Structure 1
């Protein structure tokens, strides 16, 4: 049975909520897999493009293509399979100011595809968007800057190497041994 974008939003915003959005929770991951795997597959196949013509539909589309795979496929290359789709959709949404029609903290999901990109250009754009389109107290600006720093330093996210079958350089291994992303985040926060 097809899922509506309102069902996606009700689940992610109301049921999971901000406290659960970034936790590593195997039970939540399984719930997303069992409820939304077919929805993600439909989005990957272009069958949900019609969701992207209104702000709330676009928000749900971005959650399905950018957030859900990170939960459904931890440590698996499929976690990043729809990143390009999400980034392209997010770019269209920003051009149409769809993000401005959505309240914080949900607005961040229009910007996260930029943060998840391994392109420095998209990282730079993401930091600017977080500065311009989110309130100053939003913690994601710090995360956007940390993601940008990792891409500046390595040209990719070293912590994805294993899942993507990429060989790590010696500097990437040293970075991961030193704490990886947490190390970058702590250094920028101080």
Structure 2
């Protein structure tokens, strides 16, 4: 029987510093420690740019072999989230929903602020990115949107209430390519106020590096802001992401059906669209 978050105990043979370090090493491999923007090889890995379907599938397989066990250990058969009543209700309960994971961040912050910041990054990658590489269609996508995204969003929103706020740390605000991986759960939610937070952090970061005349960092943040604005568009029109309707069992309105004929679906395959998705850039790897 699945356990509510407040009573859930993480399996220490899985959830430990070895896992958290491995998540960062795996995802950020090839990225110089002090880099403000990612090398092209990292973009290829993260977003599938210029990669063949076989190469993308191989990377997905690596994600599963490395981190599938950790995701399954906090999946819905083990960790029971409260019934969904909307984002505002979840916002009231983010600490309870993310309780076992938030405790990891708190404990790490208590020992060393930078360690806590890194732990949050690791958990964000685990909850937001790994599911998108492992569960790509059907019931898997539903799992991403209803379980792991909820955990990722709740963990970030609750962590932002901590003192110190991890997002205000110099190693987050001062490193654009790291900042985006902390913020990504905000982009993936259907909650416009959270998108405002994403834009605030992203735009402030862009201005900082514009003043420093770091062109590569500014261009990287420009791409993130542009993609964030693409996510905001359907939310302003419909209050939700129509490209998720199939996976979530939601019926499209006629307006949404018309929109999906030409709109960006962020790599989420649509039965209605006669498009060879495997020939498109696989941006749903992070929906970035």
TM-score above 0.5: yes
Q: Distance in 2 between matches of 1:50 and 1:4?
A: 16
Distance 2:19 2:101 in 1: 10
Other-structure match for 1:14: 29
Q: Greater RCO between the two (CA within 8 Å, min separation 6)? A: 2
> How many Å separate the matches in 2 of 1:42 and 1:160?
25
2:58 to 6, 16, 27: 27
2:144 aligns to what? 79
Residue of structure 1 equivalent to 2:259? 175
- Cα deviation for residue 142 of structure 1 reads 0.8
Moved more, 24-33 or 136-145: 24-33
Answer yes or no: is the 8 Å Cα contact 2:101–2:155 preserved in 1.
no
Aligned counterparts, 1:22-171, within 5 A: 22-23=47-48, 25-44=56-75, 45=79, 48-53=101-106, 54-75=116-137, 76-80=141-145, 81-95=147-161, 96-99=164-167, 100=169, 101-102=171-172, 103-134=175-206, 135=209, 136-137=218-219, 138=221, 139-171=223-255
Q: Kindly provide the CA deviation profile for residues 44-76 of structure 1, in whole angstroms up to 9, marking residues without a partner as x.
A: 546554442401111000000111111111122
- Say if 1:92 and 1:125 are closer, same or farther in 2 by CA, change over 3 A: same
Q: Report the CA distance shift for 1:51/1:78 in structure 2 as closer, same or farther (over 3 A).
A: same
TM-score (norm 1): 0.83
TM-score for the superposition, normalised by structure 2: 0.57
Question: Which structure is higher in helix share?
Answer: 1
Deviates more, 1:142-151 or 1:89-98: 89-98
Deviation larger for 107-116 or 97-106 = 97-106
Corresponding pairs, count: 182
8 Å Cα contact 1:114/1:126 also seen in 2: yes
* Contact 1:51–1:57 (8 Å) recurs in 2: yes
Q: Distance in 2 between matches of 1:179 and 1:22?
A: 19
Consecutive unaligned residues in structure 2, runs of 5 or more: 1-12, 31-40, 80-98, 107-115, 210-217, 267-288
